[in-house]
Chain A
C-alpha cells in the first residue's frame, strides 16, 4: 500500500515544475560541496607534503655540510652545523604534519583555522610565528561551501520545501476527503508520502555524497576509511529523518500550509543557526578564556623574572677578543646557551600556572560546548561530519597534544649535548627524532560518533513519535 502511495507521489512530484528546478540545484550544490572539499583536501595534502619535504631537506643539508667540513672545507664557528643549541633553536626544525585523511573532503571543519603543519624548534610552541595558513579573515568567517555546509544547512531546507504541506495541501486542495474514505489510515498515507520524499532527498544526499566522495577521493578505498563513509550515510539518514519527522509533527498539528511553512522555517532558524550560536556564546561567557594576550604577557613577565632571579647577563669576553674574535664569540656563545636554555625552561615553569588555567578553561569550555551541541541536531551533525573528516576541534586538540609531546622530545634530544658541553655527533644529526602523526584510536572516534548517532536517533524518534501519535486523532472534517 505504502508503495502505491509512493508511486503516486512520485507521479505528482514529477509533474511539478518546482521539482525540476530544486532537485538539479540540490544535486549541483552537493557536487560543488564535494569538489570544493576535495580541492581543499588536496591543497592541505600538498602543503603538508611540502612541509615534510622541507624538514627532510633541512636535516640532509646540515649533514651534507658536516660531511664537507669533515672533508676539509673551511668554516667559521657560527657555520658549524654540529652546534647543538643553534641547531635546536633556529638552524634545525621539524615540521610536525597532520596529513589529511582520505575522507577529509567531507568537511573543512576546523582545518582552515587550525594549522595542519607546525614548525617545531626549541622555542615553546605558542611562540612559533606565522604558522597560520594565509587566508582572508572575511572568507574564514563566512565559511567554506563544503559538503558539510550543503548537508547541514541546505539539505533540511529542501526537506522543508518538499514536505511542509504534505497533509495540509491535501486538506486545502480538498483531495483528502476522498482519500481518507479509502481503507487506509492517515498515518499510513503520511508514511507513504514521507517515504517517497525521504527516498528521493535522503537517497540523493547519501548517493551523491558517497559516490562523489569515492570518485573524487579514490584513496578512501585504499586506506581503512570505508567505515567513515558508512557512518556518513547513517548520519545523513538520521539527520534527514529528523527533519522529515518534524514535517510529520508540524503537519499533524492541522494548521494551514503557510503556517506550517513558517513554523518549519522557525524550527530551522532556531536549530541550525541560532541554537549553536547561542550555545557557543554561552560556553564562552560561562568559561571565559583568558585571552592569548594575557598568555603572551605572562611569558614576558616570567622571562623577566627568571632572568632577574639568576642575575643573567650575556657574557662579554673583552680579554679573549684581543686574542681572536672567533674565540671570543665561541666562548660567549657556549656560555650563553649553557645558561639560557635552563633559564628559558625555568621561565616557562613560572608562566606554567597561567597556561594551566588557560588550558583548563579551554577544556571546560569545550566540554560545555560539547554537551550543548545536543540541543541542536544541526550542531551534532556538523560536528560528526567534522569528526568523519578528521577535522573536528577534538581531532586538532589531539594532534596539538602529540606535537607538544614531540616538542619535549626535541628539547631533550638537544639539551643533552648542550649540558655536556659538546657538539652533536654525525649520528645524532642523522637520527634527529622525527614526528609521526598518529590519528586517534578508531574506537575513541567511533564511540564519539555513536553518541552523535544516538542523539540523532532520539531527535528523529521524538518527532516521528509525536507526529504519528497525533495523526491517530487526526480529524479530516475538523471545523
Chain B
C-alpha cells in the first residue's frame, strides 16, 4: 500500500513542471559548483605541495650560517587542502593558509584568501555544500508543502479515506514518494559530481586520502539524515496547516529563521558571551610575557644580566666563555621556554575561546538543523576551525622542535665562545639542517573529528527522532476536511 502511494506521489511530482524546473536548476548549480570546486582544489593542493617541497629545498640549501640565523630564516608551513574541500570549502577562505615558523615567536596562520576577495566575497562562494545545505531544503519544502493540504483542498483526501486507506500508511507513502522524487534530483547530482571530481581531482599525497571512503560515507549519512528530517517537518506542516498557502508560508518562514537568522544570531551571541582579546591586547600580553625572558640579544638588559649571573653561579665559573655550554645557546633556549609558556597562554586562550564560541554556536543547532549539518559537514570535510587550529598547533610544535635542535647545536658547538663570536662566528652547515625533518601535516583521523563533534551529532539525531515522532503523531491525526 505504502509503495503504491509513493509511486503515485512520485509520478505526480515528476509531472509537475515546477519541481522539474527547480530540480534542474539545483542540479545545474550543484554540478557547476562541484566542477569549479574540483579544479580549484586540485590547483590549490598542487601549489601547496610544490611550495612545501620548495621550502624544504631552500631550507636544506641555505648554506653555511649560524643556527640562530637559520632560525630567523625560518620555514613556511602551508596548510594542506583536504580533499573534501572541493565539495565543502567551509571556512577555508577565512582561515590563514600559511604559517611562518621562525625563532622567538609563534606566528599565526596568515593570508586569509577572503582578504584578497572581490567586493562580492561576503555573499560567499557557490559550493556543493551550499547547494545541499540551503537549496535542497527549499526543494524539499516545495515538494511537500501541498502533499496533504492540496489533497484536502481538492477533496481527494476525503475520497481516499472513504476507500479505507489508513492515515499513517498514506503519510508514510507520501514521505516515500517525496524521497523518491528528491532522489531523482540528488542522485544524478551526486553521481555526476563524483565523476567530475574523479576526473579533475588529483591528490598526490596519499596521507590526505586516508579514510576518504569512510568520510564520504559519513558525510553522505549526515546529509541523508538532514533531508529526512526536513521532509518529515515539511509533511507534518502540510498535515497541520489550514491551507497550502499557510503550509508554504510556515515552511518558508522556518527556512528564513533557521537557515538565515539563527546562525547569525548564534555567532553574534557567541562573540558577546565569549569575548576575544583585540589584536592589540593580544600583542601586549605576548610582549609583556616575553619581556620576562632573558633578552638573549640585549646584553645590558637587567634580565639578561640576571640570567647570566644565574648561569655563572650554577656552573661556578667567572666568564661565559668558561661555561660547559654556549651561553648564547642557553639564553636562546631560555628565551624560547618563556615564549612557549606565553604563547600557550595567550594564543591558547584565543584558540580555546574559538572552541567555546563554536560550541555555543553548535548548541543553537537545537533551534536550527542547518547549524548542526553545517558543523558536521565542515568537520568531516576538514574545513572547520578545529582543523585550522589543529594545523596551527602542529606547525607550532614543529617550530619548537626546530628551534630546540638549532639551540641545542649552539649550546654544544659554540662552547667557549664570546657572545659576538657565538652569534656570528659559529656556522653550521647542511648536516644540521638535515637533522630537522621536513614538515608534514596530516589532518586528524575521522574518529578524532567525530569525537570532537559529539554535540552536533547528538543534536542532529534529536532533530531526526523529533521530526519523525512529530510526523507519526501528526499522521494519525490527519483531518479530511477543514473545520
A pairs with B: yes
User: Inside 8 A of B120's CB, which chain A residues have their CB?
Assistant: 276-277, 279-280, 283, 369, 372-373, 379, 383
A residues within 8 A CB of B357?
136, 138-139
Which residues of the partner chain B approach A137 to less than 8 Å between Cβ atoms? Answer: 91, 94-95, 112, 354, 385, 388
Residue of B nearest to A130 (CB): B108
Stretch at the interface among A237-245, A321-329, A403-411: A321-329
Residues of A within 8 A of B65 (CB): 314
With a CB–CB cut-off of 8 A, which chain A residues contact B256?
A: 157
Is B358 in the interface zone, CB < 8 Å from A?
Answer: yes
Given contacts A130-B110, A134-B279, contact A145 B265 (CB under 8 A): yes
Find out whether the CB atom of A280 lies under 8 angstroms from the CB atom of B118.
yes
Would you give the 0/1 interface string for A7-48, flagging 1 where the beta carbon is closer than 8 Å to chain B? 000000000000000000000000000001000000100110
Q: Are B280 and A47 in contact (CB under 8 A)?
A: yes
- Complex Cα distance, B146 from A243, in Å, reads 26
A412–B97 alpha-carbon span in the complex (Å): 32
Known contacts A137-B91, A157-B256, A293-B97; decide if A392 and B119 are in contact (CB<8 Å).
yes
Q: Are B119 and A142 interface neighbours, CB within 8 A?
A: no
* A40 CB to nearest chain B CB (Å): 10
Asked whether B299 is an interface residue with its Cβ less than 8 Å from the other chain, the reply is: yes
| A366 nearest CB across to chain B (Å) | 5
B118–A141 CB distance below 8 A: no
Of residues 279 to 328 in A, which have CB atoms within 8 Å of B's CB atoms?
A: 279-281, 283-285, 288-289, 291-294, 296-297, 300-301, 304, 314, 316, 318, 321, 325, 328
Query: Is B115 on the interface with A (CB-CB < 8 A)?
Result: yes
Q: Which residue of A lies closest to B255 (CB)?
A: A265
Give the residue name and chain of the B residue nearest to A393 (CB): B119
Q: Is the CB of B268 within 8 A of A129?
A: no
Known: A273-B123, A274-B29. A291 touches B94 (CB 8 A): no
Q: Is the CB of A141 within 8 A of B119?
A: no
Instruction: Let me know if B111 and A43 touch, CB within 8 A.
Output: no
How far apart are the CA atoms of A157 and B255 in the complex, in Å?
12
Chain A at the B interface: mostly helix, strand, loop or mixed? helix
Contacts of B388 in A (CB 8 A): 137
A262 contacts chain B at the CB level, 8 A cutoff: yes
> Which residues of A, 415-431, contact B by the 8 Å Cβ criterion?
none
Chain B interface, >50% SS class? helix
- Residues 142-166 of chain A, each 1 if its beta carbon lies under 8 Å from chain B, else 0: 1111000100011001000100000
Q: How far is the CB of A302 from chain B (nearest CB, A)?
A: 11
Contact yes or no, A136 B263, CB < 8 A? no
Verify A47–B123 contact, CB threshold 8 A: no
Partner of A362, one of B116, B268, B384: B116
Bound: A113/B93 CA distance, A: 11
The chain B residue with its CB closest to the CB of A54 is B280
- Residues of chain B within 8 A of A345, CB atoms compared: none
Q: Which of A130, A256, A328, A383 contacts B119 (CB 8 A)?
A: A383
Q: Is A57 an interface residue (CB 8 A)?
A: no
A133 at the interface (CB under 8 A from B): yes
Interface segment out of the listed B183-191, B200-208, B420-428, B447-455:
B420-428
Cβ of A257 within 8 Å of any chain B Cβ, yes or no, is yes
In the bound complex, do residue A47 and residue B300 qualify as a contact, i.e. CB atoms below 8 Å apart?
no
B483 near A: Cβ within 8 Å? no
Interface bits A246-279 vs B (CB < 8 Å: 1, else 0): 0000000000111001100110010001101111
Q: Whole-angstrom distance between the alpha carbons of A321 and B350 in the complex?
A: 46
- Is the CB of A394 closer than 8 A to any CB of chain B? yes
Stretch from A73-81, A207-215, A436-444 contacting the other chain? A73-81
Tell me, rounded to whole Å, the shortest Cβ–Cβ distance linking A315 to chain B. 8
Q: B394 at the A/B interface (Cβ < 8 Å)?
A: no
Cβ contact within 8 Å between A373 and B116: no
Q: Is B341 an interface residue (CB 8 A)?
A: no
Closest Cβ of chain B to A274, distance in Å, is 7
Contact B300 A76 (CB under 8 A): yes
Q: Footprint of B on A, CB under 8 Å?
A: 36, 43, 46-47, 50-51, 54, 75-76, 78-79, 109-110, 113-114, 129-145, 149, 153-154, 157, 161, 256-258, 261-262, 265-266, 269, 273-274, 276-281, 283-285, 288-289, 291-294, 296-297, 300-301, 304, 314, 316, 318, 321, 325, 328-329, 332, 362, 365-366, 368-370, 372-373, 379, 382-383, 386, 392-394
Beyond A277-B125, A325-B418, 20 extra complex contacts between A and B, CB < 8 Å: A79-B300, A113-B112, A113-B114, A113-B121, A129-B110, A132-B108, A134-B282, A136-B357, A136-B358, A141-B90, A141-B124, A142-B264, A145-B267, A261-B248, A277-B123, A284-B117, A297-B51, A300-B58, A301-B54, A372-B120
Q: List 12 A-B contacts (CB under 8 A).
A: A136-B357, A137-B385, A139-B267, A145-B268, A266-B22, A280-B125, A293-B76, A301-B54, A316-B425, A321-B421, A325-B419, A373-B119
The 9 A-B residue pairs whose C-beta atoms are closest, nearest first, are A369-B118, A276-B123, A292-B111, A137-B94, A280-B120, A393-B119, A142-B267, A137-B91, A277-B126
